[in-house]
Structure 1
């Protein structure tokens, strides 16, 4: 049976599964669950269900399966690729994990934390710090994104070069499968070589194979020292060369290495009009070192930067002399993202190439925009230490939204071609969702398509888990 509207009987069954307070069906009650942070995507839903326990998640999944209802798992809804929004309004049900928000365990002796999927990332980080530990995943949205969504999207962020993606930080998962059965993949082990590593199927699957309800995470000793520098350089080539030298000269203690084209600074001023740029240079670098032991990071960083300035690789350098000073540096990096959102619609990409290819990516992308889309304004910044560049492009003032979006689609396709020509990826950390699924699918080799399709059919034969996400709609898949 397939449902396209809510009858009183179905609504009653939903309320029996999650309680009356766990069901939202009115437009106003559902509004915040039907749009993403960027404002680029809006969707629809028959209902929003908010289970408060793992058993309730199982009950909802079984009910939706019996009714033939598509299921859209949703965390903090901070994604940027419409992965948790039914933008085609096919009549699915959103299942929000926000009420599953308990820290289950912090084991500081074994450096392990277990949490419900709906725990906000910042709450996970705070619980870790309360036990003198560090959970290093760090995102601009960490005050609202949820750890289950971080796992489902394989989130990245600013600390990937030191600690890896979300995939590298997860020891185990608890997942409600499409038939409602619960798979408990918690074990707390660093080394476990018993056959297939099933948790990897669900990390990065964007809710298309099951609903993550619990996450078991690796913790690390909390850093005792952090040193932050804000640098001015002449080019992206110089920034890549600096990173290469810094890894060796600082004993690989770099925890962040962010690169910002100077054109982005005005965007940060849309958030803080009084913001002063620490340096005047074509390329800015925000570099952070951290260590948990009694390492003299300050001396290490000063010695390295002195040599880099003497050689001409670095033109300007400022070292943070307090936590507040360091936060002011980071406010520039965080503010430019918010400033783009304030500017309105813009082309947003999330490209990944080999670190050595970053200069070529930026140069080719800038040339492409200038030649074929004059008047559009490129913005290049990102996590240079792991090859992830967000090359975004702002439309000219006065362009209608419809025209901007039409032109933007052409620009996006051109930028994807450049990344692919360099052997890169169209998605470094944001995922595929619904906004990129056709480009993703078109770029897969036949063998890759067969494997992806086989996994989907094996775990979700009815195609009810997050339909239209990651894979194109079933009827368009060759």
Structure 2
């Protein structure tokens, strides 16, 4: 028997075993059936796999991992396939099995009194938000892909989003985890304890690891009281540097009630309105530094209706903004007067990635900086990008220092001629000078693997490699992502 025939026979045996574990209907082997699972959202990364398997329980995941470990077959955990870095796609040159967690989508329990719920990795984020809302609570994790991304993927990349300024990243929301390790053993830590100092916290090791240390199958999350009142608006601020002062003033006056503080300058708004003509800019004129703001309170007193029919909480925000206008920090502002207007503002913000992608060739930087360094970084970066022929299209979660800095081009036909490597090199050098990070919330995956080797602090990178080798000595868990061993 030739080597090729031997490999084919081994693959057939693995597929047969996978069928026994998850069922033939949930073990995909036809190219047409697997195609959607072997390409990422950007269309940039494509992979190959022996099979795509869709287990329905943690036990089935464990059996799949044990099988692959015994056969030295790589395992690629996969969620909603909304990632932007190629983290959920197999790499070339390694026999792989894609483990889709789409069938592990149950809400196992919801504790209204304790304000927690236990959910499985394949649950869609928007479904979790809706379930929390039915019980008068809020699951605050949110971003544009909420209708298709899954919570396991959110955990594996430690996703952020628009509400991080108040509630933190996915990591801060998670207080318990269940996972399958590279040898198939199961960690069950779904107690939901707020305090548990009994050794290393494996939860935090697995969150943000992009499936390179194990497969997260379920988690416990904190829930929060539903706001009784909310104010959402769009501000024209005098400068990007002044925007930080505006944020701090509003935080101080509202007791830290800011839920979203999104940087949306005029070029980004223009692209959105051009790609989606039914979306209108919230303010007239050229808003050089636009900020989408949302502030919320759960105090019943803030929802009180005043004599003129207005809401107390919104009145207080208008008063604060009036003071900021008098101080010259805010130039113009609008506050949503209905849920429809609020929805229109959020649609504006959540359309940006799709709009920029559709507008033409682009290179995305997902970066974070100390708040004090954001304005000088943008000023220097914009100047250099324009000099080299690029058009900066920047938005950001300004409240937590996360910028999505896109390098675009006014003439798509000239894209190939532009010095992309030069501007990237400048960006990363500038980022290092300003104490920033080259990956804020989208993860490393395949797209930033080379950067890890050149920009990550050597001692931290070495420790990551030690951990990876110790936990996954065969390197079967999502190889070719996050860290090279």
Shorter-chain TM-score bucket reads over 0.9
Once the two structures are superposed, the pairs formed by residues 450-465 of structure 1 within 5 Å of their partners are: 450-465=462-477
Question: 387, 390, 399: which is aligned to 2:413?
Answer: 399
Q: Is structure 2 residue 307 aligned with structure 1 residue 293?
A: no
Which structure 1 segments of 5+ residues have no match? none
- Residue 299 of structure 1: how far off its partner (Å): 1.9
Tell me if the contact between 2:91 and 2:480 (Cα under 8 Å) persists in the aligned partners. Answer: no
- Residue 239 of structure 1: how far off its partner (Å): 1.5
Question: 276, 289, 293: which is aligned to 1:283?
Answer: 289
Q: Take 1:227 and 1:391, find their aligned partners in 2: how far apart are those partners?
A: 27
Partner of 2:305: none
Question: 350, 354, 360: which is aligned to 1:338?
Answer: 354
Q: Is structure 2 residue 125 aligned with structure 1 residue 121?
A: yes
Partner of 1:429: 441
Q: Take 1:292 and 1:463, find their aligned partners in 2: how far apart are those partners?
A: 47
Question: 433, 445, 469: which is aligned to 2:457?
Answer: 445
TM-score by length of 2: 0.93
Matched residue count: 469
1:437-472: per-residue Cα shift (whole Å, max 9, x none)?
Answer: 111222233321221111111110111000000013
Tell me if the contact between 1:270 and 1:342 (Cα under 8 Å) persists in the aligned partners. Answer: no
SS state of the match for residue 349, structure 1?
A: strand
Tell me if the contact between 2:162 and 2:260 (Cα under 8 Å) persists in the aligned partners. Answer: yes
Q: Is structure 2 residue 69 aligned with structure 1 residue 65?
A: yes
Structure 1 residues 387, 398: closer, same or farther in 2, change over 3 A? closer
Q: Is structure 2 residue 353 aligned with structure 1 residue 347?
A: no
Q: Take 2:457 and 2:277, find their aligned partners in 1: how far apart are those partners?
A: 48
Partner of 1:110: 114
Tell me if the contact between 2:238 and 2:289 (Cα under 8 Å) persists in the aligned partners. Answer: yes
Q: Take 2:93 and 2:32, find their aligned partners in 1: how far apart are those partners?
A: 17
Q: Take 2:360 and 2:188, find their aligned partners in 1: how far apart are those partners?
A: 43
Cα-Cα RMSD: 1.9
Question: 117, 125, 135: which is aligned to 1:131?
Answer: 135
Q: Is structure 2 residue 420 aligned with structure 1 residue 414?
A: no
SS state of the match for residue 296, structure 2?
A: strand
Once the two structures are superposed, the pairs formed by residues 376-391 of structure 1 within 5 Å of their partners are: 376-391=390-405
Partner of 1:95: 99
Q: Take 1:157 and 1:321, find their aligned partners in 2: how far apart are those partners?
A: 24
SS state of the match for residue 350, structure 1?
A: strand
Q: Take 1:470 and 1:132, find their aligned partners in 2: how far apart are those partners?
A: 38
Q: Take 1:393 and 1:56, find their aligned partners in 2: how far apart are those partners?
A: 44
Q: Is structure 2 residue 30 aligned with structure 1 residue 30?
A: no
- Residue 28 of structure 1: how far off its partner (Å): 1.4
- Residue 195 of structure 1: how far off its partner (Å): 2.0
- Residue 396 of structure 1: how far off its partner (Å): 4.1
Partner of 2:306: none
Tell me if the contact between 2:469 and 2:475 (Cα under 8 Å) persists in the aligned partners. Answer: yes
Tell me if the contact between 1:289 and 1:297 (Cα under 8 Å) persists in the aligned partners. Answer: no
Q: Take 1:433 and 1:103, find their aligned partners in 2: how far apart are those partners?
A: 28
